[in-house]
């Protein structure tokens, strides 16, 4: 029995030691003081804002990044090499622009397509960041945008509202502070799930004035991608209360069958669980692209030494057009 109790105590200590995320309600000055080391003496704010950016490019990075991605195609590198060789009169009978012009046109078409897709991402990001929400500022709730949210803010949500960040449910108008949410945008499930606030916040935070004076501190695990797991504790009035996933409203959920609920932002922006699951946008490769890269390597290994040795012009125009059909 003694060994079991000691083991349980050690497990509790391990959990507490893993709590590296500390957020205080209604106190932006306290939360902004936390920094994390990036490199040597360079530090940045530990808690991210609620602004999201899923676009790949900006005004300055589009041209270099897009060219870098297009040069990852072995076929483009192959024909770039041919264009360079064709610019040498001794080994080529054709002008370099006979192949350079078609290649530039195809690269331009691909870049235009990527630009149109990325403009759509920018518009989507702008729409999401400008969604309205009610944030407790001073002693009243004021209408702000999602991008103005910070960790520790108290937010008021109504029926059919989308949750703007991962929030600790503090209270609701339902009995026992229940809150029903729809998570179809997160896990595809259409059935409603319920979340419940702690009884202490349900009984104490019964008015806007009391919520404005709420100074509870949440200590929990660092942001992660586990949608169905959350461990932490709320420290308030010298007492600690355990928290789990049943007390958390996740970003992207929609409030259902609940007139009004109140929550405290724990994770914002790219620290939220749904954004942790999104990951970064990578360059997509189809099986045809991978096969084409292998074929181009085989062709280049056979043709380049042979044609250079014979002093003849190098083929490529028809193959360039074929692999871009």
**DSSP character string of 55-103:** -S--TTTHHHHHHHHHTTSHHHHHHHHHHHHHTSGGG-SS-THHHHHHH
User: HSE of 291 in the Cβ direction (CA atoms, 13 Å)?
Assistant: 4
Residue that is written with structure tokens 């004021």 in the block: 142
Tell me the pairing of strands 239-244 and 132-137.
unpaired
Rounded to the nearest 5 degrees, what angle is found at the Cα of 272, between the Cα atoms of 20 and 24? 50
The domains of the chain are located at: 11-50+149-278, 51-131
pLDDT average, residue stretch 120-149 = 94
Rounded to the nearest 5 degrees, what angle is found at the Cα of 148, between the Cα atoms of 147 and 153? 120
- By mean pLDDT, which of 75-84, 113-122, 237-246 is the weakest? 75-84
pLDDT (0 to 100) of residue 2: 45
The architecture (CATH level 2) of 11-50+149-278 comes to Distorted Sandwich (2.70)
3-state SS, 90-111, equals HHCCCCCHHHHHHHHHHHHHHH
User: CA–CA separation, 193 vs 100, rounded Å?
Assistant: 59
Q: Which residues contact 297 (CB under 8 A, 6 or more apart)?
A: 74
Burial of residue 51, with CB atoms counted within 10 A of its CB: 0-12 exposed, 13-18 middle, 19 or more buried? middle
User: CA–CA separation, 86 vs 69, rounded Å?
Assistant: 24
Check residue 304 and report its DSSP letter. H
* pLDDT exceeds cutoff 70 at 216: yes
From residue 211, give the alpha-carbon distance in Å to each of 66, 117, 221. 49, 43, 24
pLDDT average, residue stretch 44-54 = 91
First and final CA of the chain: distance in angstroms? 73
User: CA–CA separation, 222 vs 20, rounded Å?
Assistant: 6
For residue 265, which phi and psi values (nearest 5 degrees)?
Answer: -70, 125
pLDDT (0 to 100) of residue 106: 87
pLDDT (0 to 100) of residue 310: 52
From residue 156, give the alpha-carbon distance in Å to each of 54, 168, 206. 26, 12, 13
* Percent residues over pLDDT 70 in the chain: 84
Higher pLDDT, 86 or 64: 64
User: CA–CA separation, 74 vs 249, rounded Å?
Assistant: 47
pLDDT (0 to 100) of residue 22: 94
pLDDT (0 to 100) of residue 231: 94
How much is the CA Rg of the chain, to the nearest whole Å?
A: 28
């Amino acid at each position: 029995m003694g060994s079991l109790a000691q083991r349980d105590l050690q497990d509790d200590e391990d959990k507490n030691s893993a709590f590296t995320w500390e957020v205080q309600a209604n106190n932006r000055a306290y939360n902004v003081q936390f920094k994390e080391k990036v490199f040597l003496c360079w530090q940045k704010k530990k808690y991210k804002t609620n602004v999201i950016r899923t676009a790949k490019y900006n005004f300055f990075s589009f041209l270099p990044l897009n060219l870098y991605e297009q040069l990852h195609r072995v076929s483009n590198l192959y024909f770039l090499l041919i264009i360079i060789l064709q610019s040498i009169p001794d080994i080529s009978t054709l002008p370099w622009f006979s192949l350079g012009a078609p290649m530039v046109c195809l690269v331009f078409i691909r870049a235009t397509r990527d630009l149109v897709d990325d403009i759509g991402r920018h518009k989507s990001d702008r729409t999401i960041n400008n969604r309205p929400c009610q944030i407790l500022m001073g002693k009243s709730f004021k209408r702000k945008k999602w991008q103005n949210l910070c960790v520790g803010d108290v937010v008021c949500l109504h029926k059919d509202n989308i949750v703007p960040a991962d929030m600790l449910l503090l209270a609701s108008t339902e009995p026992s502070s229940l809150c029903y949410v729809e998570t179809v945008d997160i896990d595809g499930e259409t059935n409603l799930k319920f979340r419940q606030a702690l009884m202490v916040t349900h009984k104490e935070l019964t008015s806007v004035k009391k919520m404005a004076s709420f100074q509870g501190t949440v200590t929990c695990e660092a942001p992660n991608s586990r949608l169905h797991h959350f461990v932490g504790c709320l420290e308030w009035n010298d007492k600690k209360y355990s928290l789990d996933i049943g007390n958390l409203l996740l970003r992207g959920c929609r409030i259902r069958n609940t007139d009004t609920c109140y929550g405290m932002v724990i994770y914002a922006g790219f620290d939220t669980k749904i954004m942790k699951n999104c990951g970064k946008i990578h360059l997509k490769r189809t099986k045809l692209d991978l096969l084409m890269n292998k074929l181009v390597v085989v062709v280049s290994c056979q043709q380049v030494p042979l044609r250079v040795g014979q002093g003849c012009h190098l083929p490529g125009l028809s193959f360039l057009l074929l692999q871009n059909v």
